[in-house]
Structure 1
């Protein structure tokens, strides 16, 4: 989240590298704690490279399967450890097959069994 300097009333927004490194650590932890996680990535302004002050982080998680309806899945993933607000979209592997290409550029930071890092 934005940070206030001790010597200034100005809020600063985390640098892109800080945000993506935090996401990599978060994604690795998800992969360890949730064996059903197949991929974690981000899209939107951070993936395009034009994120700025106030930008949120758009995250996509691909899971093997889920009994929950799509609109309830994101509530199961706590992204409050990340340094900026995040929108989390969770798709099953089957759903993702029909979604590919619809979110624009995606930067994958975790892939099960290969542990891709940004």
Structure 2
């Protein structure tokens, strides 16, 4: 018997989430010309996302400045389809992070999946 008092929630498929991230990134690049690239990492980068996965996002912004918290205020992450953890880096900061050899740098090198590049 079907209950009329319960809601049924459907988690978006990974390809739907990635398509929405691409669209979001293109919209943001039109608004913020210094946005150079956008990537997912973590479970979406590895292709292992499933029900309950959050979105880990990397934004490369040539003019990023201030603390991470200040940088994140520029980006309307609430428009993305899932809860999101984001990291905003300049190209130089991104290169330095990858060169440092930390565990996180290794995870980024292994898991990052670029979903939007600025085309010249």
Q: TM-score, normalised on structure 1?
A: 0.81
Hey, what does 1:75 align to over in structure 2? 73
Aligned to 2:19: 21
* Structure 1 residue ranges without an equivalent (≥5): 1-5
Among 97, 100, 116, the alignment partner of 1:110 is 116
Greater Cα radius of gyration, structure 1 or 2:
2
Cα distance in structure 2, aligned partners of 1:97 and 1:86: 23
Matches within 5 A, 1:85-100: 85-100=83-98
Unaligned runs of 5+ in 2: 100-104
TM-score, structure 2 as length reference: 0.80
Cα displacement string for residues 30-86 of structure 1 (whole angstroms, at most 9, x for unaligned residues): 111111111111100011111111111100000112231234212221121221111
- Which is richer in helix? 2
- Note if 1:52 corresponds to 2:50: yes
